[in-house]
Structure 1
Amino acid sequence: MQLYGRVRELSGFGLSYRQIQEAVLRNRQVRLAKSTISVWVNGLHGPTGRLNSFRPNPTPELAYVIGVILGDGNLNIHGYNAELILAVTDHDFAEEFSRCLAKVLHRERPYKIRWSERKNRWVVQGSSILLHKFLNCEWRSFKKCIEHCDRCRGAFLRAFYDSEGSISRKLVVSNTRRDLLRYVQKLLKDANIETTSLRVDTSAGTSLKDPRTGRIYLRRKDCFQFSVRMQSISKFAEYVGFSIERKSKRLRAATLRANQWSSVDSLRSSAL
């Protein structure tokens, strides 16, 4: 257990697996395999082989993790690790996912957020066989956790909009899964948030340029989207919102415009 604690401590200093391996060998005369270090650092299990603690009890944090995995997040099996990964441009998005993931897996501290030069993204990476197995299912199986209460519904929607939402002239959400977007629409409708009709945004077969590499790809699937109507922007800001300050700032500006539009419209109606 002392070795386990030392490995976790060295990881907290930002050392690589190789550096941790060399430090333990130098100080404790024990050569740990990199796979063992990886398993311990990522919290898959400790020296006793105990699995990361996870039970699918509905909480806002679990609803947020579900929303991220259905959006920008990824599930991956790498060696001994059953990984949950988020790689994003916004550090505050990574922070919120790290916090929620740690809470779901009963960790005392959030997961480490690291900058990847190769991906040009902030990366959060955690491991749990039990949580990975729970999340690696058809999205409809998550409804019980998502719809548990208003806080869970709001957390799920915020995570999904953090991942798939954008706001400039309109508040839009896009995804290739039409049925999932219809479910998101239903959750918003239940919260009295009005949306436009679901429509195809980009068709399969059209080209997509990766801004990081410059490579051109062909879309394999249709991408669908809908918008939140102007009169519901304020309600969306109150009930859902964003974890990302960049998007939150735009949402505040959109809310102000929506309130001004509503005031002008009321004045016009009263003048008639």
Structure 2
Amino acid sequence: MVPLLLLLVVMRRIKDLDIDELREIVERVKALRSEGHSYGGIVRMISDEYNVRLSKATVIRWSKGTHSPFNRIKAISMEPSSELSYIIGVYLGDGSIHMKDNGRYVVKLKVIDREFAEAFANALDKLGIKATMGFERDSTRVDRFYVEGSNKALFRLLSGSRERLLSLAGEYPVEFLKGFFDSEGFPTISAGKTFAVQVAAVNSDLVVLEFVGKLLGVLGIGSKISKLYSKGHRVVIRGEEYSSNVDMFILWISRFEDVMRFAREIGFTAWRKEAKLRRAIELKLHYPNRKAVRLWHEEYEKGSRGYVPRANLFKPTLNSQREGAAGGSWPSPGGVWYGKDTREKEG
């Protein structure tokens, strides 16, 4: 005797639908009612056709036009745009999405740099999503700025097809790369016997890194990808040792000409990264190795996660620091950076 197999089909709810599918079902309900079907019959037909559970009361309200399911859904454009590409770049790095118990579809970012948080909030605002920004203190880790926005359409896009996501992002490559490198990228400086400037980005998704490398190539920026470490590798984060649950890859921009092009075309939103990169480029451009190394060590000291500015250096105000940032002119070899004059004394 063949055992009886019961197939349990989990019915979807209205909140499980994306906007396009919801709109299609609403129109289908109205069409069925206009054909003379009963409300109960429409409930069964929608269940069979779309695997969606509707109540009879919902069908009545939709048919009579007394209620629209779109009243609580903020409609935004999912067409290619600079803001959407930047948001996708951030999401594929530090960004996250989750659905709260109250039905809110949340897109969130937590970072240590105010400028980065503000840029992400501005991108959400320009897309039509109200963003909330704040600062949280956490005794277990570094204090961070957070940005949070809620929109079902954006949530569905980010959690959906990776192919569609990358296709949209690629329409505005500079903005996508800006968002990705704001999240995952950093300048790396070697100041030993020689002085070298590179840019790197770390991510566990090799497909994403390969896409990033492809877009960099379109902009004339060369890069290479290698495995940083394998799953199971022991890593130390904020003094605690963990075992990595994924393979990790790193993308390098190593040729100095490529690094300079990256700084001109893309750069970093966070001022601490941008200032470090531009100061290193200035030294590399205008001084021999030995002097570049000496000047660098006068201004930066080696920390646990790379070079950081020395605490005793005078720093100008934020507005002053922003002059000459991405899109502006390069500092001259005689310029003052972090209040330190690098010019040769006359005589």
Q: Same fold (TM over 0.5)?
A: yes
SS in structure 2 at match of 1:237 = helix
SS in structure 1 at match of 2:93 = coil
The 1:199–1:83 alpha-carbon spacing in structure 2 relative to 1, beyond 3 Å, is same
Q: Which has the higher contact order (CA 8 A, sep 6+)?
A: 1
- Aligned residue for 2:90? 68
Structure 1: state its 5+ residue gaps. Answer: 1-47, 263-272
Q: Name the CA distance, whole Å, in 2 between partners of 1:223 and 1:66.
A: 20
- Aligned residue for 1:51? 73
The 1:65–1:201 alpha-carbon spacing in structure 2 relative to 1, beyond 3 Å, is same
If the length of structure 1 is used for normalisation, what is the TM-score? 0.71
Structure 2: state its 5+ residue gaps. Answer: 1-69, 190-197, 289-347
Which of 75, 100, 117 is the aligned partner of 1:78?
A: 100
- Mean Cα displacement is larger for which, 214-223 or 63-72? 214-223
- Aligned residue for 1:219? 244
**AA in 2 matched with 1:188:** L
Q: Name the CA distance, whole Å, in 2 between partners of 1:217 and 1:138.
A: 31
- Aligned residue for 2:148? 125
SS in structure 2 at match of 1:235 = helix
Are the aligned partners of 1:233 and 1:258 in contact in 2 as well (CA < 8 Å)? no
- Aligned residue for 1:45? none
**AA in 2 matched with 1:160:** F
Q: Name the CA distance, whole Å, in 2 between partners of 1:253 and 1:138.
A: 40
Q: CA deviation at 1:133?
A: 0.4
Q: Name the CA distance, whole Å, in 2 between partners of 1:140 and 1:252.
A: 34
- Aligned residue for 1:23? none
Are the aligned partners of 1:198 and 1:226 in contact in 2 as well (CA < 8 Å)? yes
**AA in 2 matched with 1:144:** S
Are the aligned partners of 1:161 and 1:242 in contact in 2 as well (CA < 8 Å)? yes
Q: CA deviation at 1:139?
A: 2.6
Provide, for residues 77-101 of structure 1, a one-character-per-residue CA deviation record: whole Å limited to 9, x for no partner. Answer: 1111110000111111100000001
Q: CA deviation at 1:57?
A: 1.5
The 1:216–1:189 alpha-carbon spacing in structure 2 relative to 1, beyond 3 Å, is same
Are the aligned partners of 1:53 and 1:106 in contact in 2 as well (CA < 8 Å)? no
- Aligned residue for 2:201? 173
The structure richer in helix per residue is 1
The 1:140–1:254 alpha-carbon spacing in structure 2 relative to 1, beyond 3 Å, is farther
Provide, for residues 195-248 of structure 1, a one-character-per-residue CA deviation record: whole Å limited to 9, x for no partner. Answer: 2x311112211122331xx44321011111121122211211111111111111
- Deviating beyond 6 angstroms after TM superposition, the runs of 4 or more aligned structure 1 residues are none
Are the aligned partners of 2:94 and 2:109 in contact in 1 as well (CA < 8 Å)? yes
Q: Name the CA distance, whole Å, in 2 between partners of 1:58 and 1:261.
A: 43
- Mean Cα displacement is larger for which, 123-132 or 134-143? 134-143
Q: CA deviation at 1:50?
A: 2.6
* Structural RMSD (CA): 2.1
**AA in 2 matched with 1:76:** H
- Mean Cα displacement is larger for which, 123-132 or 133-142? 133-142
Are the aligned partners of 1:176 and 1:224 in contact in 2 as well (CA < 8 Å)? yes
Are the aligned partners of 2:83 and 2:123 in contact in 1 as well (CA < 8 Å)? yes
**AA in 2 matched with 1:59:** S
The 1:140–1:257 alpha-carbon spacing in structure 2 relative to 1, beyond 3 Å, is farther
Provide, for residues 135-185 of structure 1, a one-character-per-residue CA deviation record: whole Å limited to 9, x for no partner. Answer: 11243212332232xxx2101001100100011312111111111111111
- Aligned residue for 2:128? 105
Q: CA deviation at 1:106?
A: 5.4
Which of 280, 287, 302 is the aligned partner of 1:254?
A: 280
Aligned residue-pair number: 207
Q: Name the CA distance, whole Å, in 2 between partners of 1:185 and 1:70.
A: 14
Aligned sequence identity (%)? 28
Q: Name the CA distance, whole Å, in 2 between partners of 1:191 and 1:112.
A: 34
The 1:258–1:232 alpha-carbon spacing in structure 2 relative to 1, beyond 3 Å, is farther
**AA in 2 matched with 1:66:** I
* Residue 240 of structure 1 pairs with residue 262 of structure 2: no
Q: CA deviation at 1:258?
A: 4.7
Q: Name the CA distance, whole Å, in 2 between partners of 1:261 and 1:192.
A: 26
**AA in 2 matched with 1:175:** N
- Mean Cα displacement is larger for which, 198-207 or 155-164? 198-207
Q: Name the CA distance, whole Å, in 1 between partners of 2:144 and 2:219.
A: 33
If the length of structure 2 is used for normalisation, what is the TM-score? 0.56
Q: Name the CA distance, whole Å, in 1 between partners of 2:213 and 2:257.
A: 16
1:145-224 pair list within 5 angstroms: 145-148=168-171, 152-169=172-189, 170-195=198-223, 197-211=224-238, 214-224=239-249
SS in structure 1 at match of 2:201 = strand
Q: Name the CA distance, whole Å, in 1 between partners of 2:218 and 2:285.
A: 22
Q: Name the CA distance, whole Å, in 2 between partners of 1:175 and 1:190.
A: 21
Greater Rg by CA: 2
Are the aligned partners of 1:172 and 1:227 in contact in 2 as well (CA < 8 Å)? yes
Are the aligned partners of 1:231 and 1:258 in contact in 2 as well (CA < 8 Å)? no
Q: Name the CA distance, whole Å, in 1 between partners of 2:160 and 2:78.
A: 13
